């Protein structure tokens, strides 16, 4: 076999081996959903931002049905007055600990009847059966609304901060939310190893042949 052909085949094997190296595959799946049929939700809920001259945030508790990394959220949330922004924070167990994840979104909210949809969050691991709280807050010059769900579930509350601590009220309302998670896993690689080895063998053989000339 001619030297040029051996070289071309060896390089091709190496390229195939590199292209076939493991990549991350991501499968999103719903771990919590109380929005209602066709992702709808009911009116009402809680205001957050500035309300009656006090700073307020809305929060809801949820328990994932499966484990995975937080990947996306759909919230029945809309903009009322002031700056259109919202800071979402995720807590484990209660609202009084350190946030597992927190991010501020600028101009994300539509008018009443729209839903806030956020993807590609790359958030923390959610464990099936564990309790988490998601809170929403705005700045002191704005008001936003997080609507209630329409599935009849009862497990969540809202929170006011009056400068003296947190006060819980209206525990009979569950806020509208859908949570997705993903499980990132590498693809198998054994099939690429023979290609990589064949390419190396070919290049070694080519080098030996060139040295013998």
Task: Answer yes or no: do 82 and 164 share one domain.
Answer: yes
Residues above pLDDT 70, as percent of the chain: 62
Check pLDDT > 80 for residue 173: no
Task: Answer yes or no: do 192 and 180 share one domain.
Answer: no
Which residue in 146, 151, 120 sits closest to 134, CA to CA? 146
Task: Answer yes or no: do 110 and 174 share one domain.
Answer: yes
**Residue 139 has what pLDDT?**
84
Confidence grade of residue 166 (pLDDT, cut at 50, 70, 90)? low
Identify the CATH number of the domain in which residue 57 sits. 2.60.120
**Residue 47 has what pLDDT?**
83
Check pLDDT > 90 for residue 25: no
Higher pLDDT, 182 or 194: 182
Q: How many whole angstroms separate alpha carbon 67 and alpha carbon 74?
A: 18
Task: Answer yes or no: do 48 and 144 share one domain.
Answer: yes
Report the 3 state secondary structure along 99-132: CCEEEEEECCCCCCCCCEEECCCCCCEECCCCCE
Confidence grade of residue 185 (pLDDT, cut at 50, 70, 90)? low
Domain count of the chain? 2
The pTM of this model reads 0.72
Task: Answer yes or no: do 124 and 180 share one domain.
Answer: yes
User: In terms of residue numbers, what domain contains 47?
Assistant: 24-186
Task: Answer yes or no: do 14 and 102 share one domain.
Answer: no
Task: Answer yes or no: do 18 and 28 share one domain.
Answer: no
Among 146-150, 162-166, 189-193, the range scoring the smallest mean pLDDT is 189-193
Task: Answer yes or no: do 65 and 18 share one domain.
Answer: no
Which residue in 3, 138, 150 sits closest to 84, CA to CA? 138
Q: What is the pLDDT of residues 70-108, one digit of tens each?
A: 999 999 999 999 999 999 999 998 887 789 999 999 999
Q: How many whole angstroms separate alpha carbon 66 and alpha carbon 129?
A: 8
């Amino acid at each position: 076999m001619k030297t040029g052909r051996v070289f071309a085949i060896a390089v091709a094997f190496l390229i195939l081996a590199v292209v076939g190296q493991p990549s991350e595959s991501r499968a999103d799946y719903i771990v919590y959903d109380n929005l209602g049929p066709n992702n709808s939700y009911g009116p009402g809920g809680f205001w957050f931002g500035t309300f009656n001259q006090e700073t307020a945030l809305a929060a809801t508790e949820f328990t994932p049905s499966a484990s995975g990394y937080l990947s996306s959220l759909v919230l029945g949330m809309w903009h009322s007055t002031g700056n259109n922004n919202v800071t979402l924070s995720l807590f484990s167990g209660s609202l009084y600990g350190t946030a597992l994840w927190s991010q501020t979104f600028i101009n994300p909210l539509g008018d009443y009847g729209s839903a806030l949809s956020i993807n590609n969050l790359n958030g923390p691991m959610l464990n099936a059966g564990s309790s988490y709280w998601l809170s929403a807050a705005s700045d002191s010059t704005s008001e936003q609304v997080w609507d209630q769900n329409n599935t009849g579930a009862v497990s969540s509350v809202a929170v006011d901060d009056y400068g003296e601590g947190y006060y819980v009220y209206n525990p009979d309302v569950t806020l509208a939310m859908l949570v997705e998670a993903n499980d990132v896993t590498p693809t198998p690689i054994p099939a690429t190893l023979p290609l990589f080895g064949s390419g190396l063998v070919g290049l070694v053989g080519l080098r030996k042949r060139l040295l013998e000339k």
